[in-house]
Amino acid sequence: MDEYVNFMVDQSEIFLNNLHRNFKFTCNNKTLKEGKLILFNLSDFYYSFTLDLSGSKKHFKLPMAFSISQTLSSIRLDYTVNSLCHNMEDFVFNCKMIKPKMKNNLYDGVVEMIFV
């Protein structure tokens, strides 16, 4: 349980340290949203972002990522099956055999929050 709490605190700190920066949310080379990060909240297994888009505030939600990392130029939210399964080959194979009921753009993908 302590590992989960530490993971949650680390995730929150990454976003809180980057408040009031301009971001471009991309997934599979497509831009999802772009704007200044004003507010961040973590609730009900979702990241909730409030972005300032040229004077108007927009709310944007993403599901909690399986892993998160930060580089000098971006924050990477990893939704890949490999990160969920911690690269255990049998588990990855079994997960990929399950057919999703609906198509989701985030399935087995990566969202990058690129600093603009």
Backbone angles phi, psi at 12, to 5 degrees: -65, -40
For the segment 3-59, what is each residue's pLDDT rounded down to a tens digit? 544 455 577 888 888 899 999 999 988 999 999 999 999 888 899 999 998 889 999
Per DSSP, 88 falls in state: -
Opening angle at CA 11, ends 7 and 14, nearest 5: 140
CA 18 – CA 14 distance, rounded (Å): 7
Average pLDDT on 83-110 reads 87
Domain containing 104 equals: 2-115
Q: List, in order, residues 6 or more apart from 76 with CB less than 8 Å away.
A: 68, 69, 70, 110, 111, 112, 113
Q: List, in order, residues 6 or more apart from 104 with CB less than 8 Å away.
A: none
Q: How many domains does the chain have?
A: 1
pTM of the predicted structure, to 2 decimals:
0.83
CA 53 – CA 32 distance, rounded (Å): 13
Mean pLDDT estimate for the chain:
86
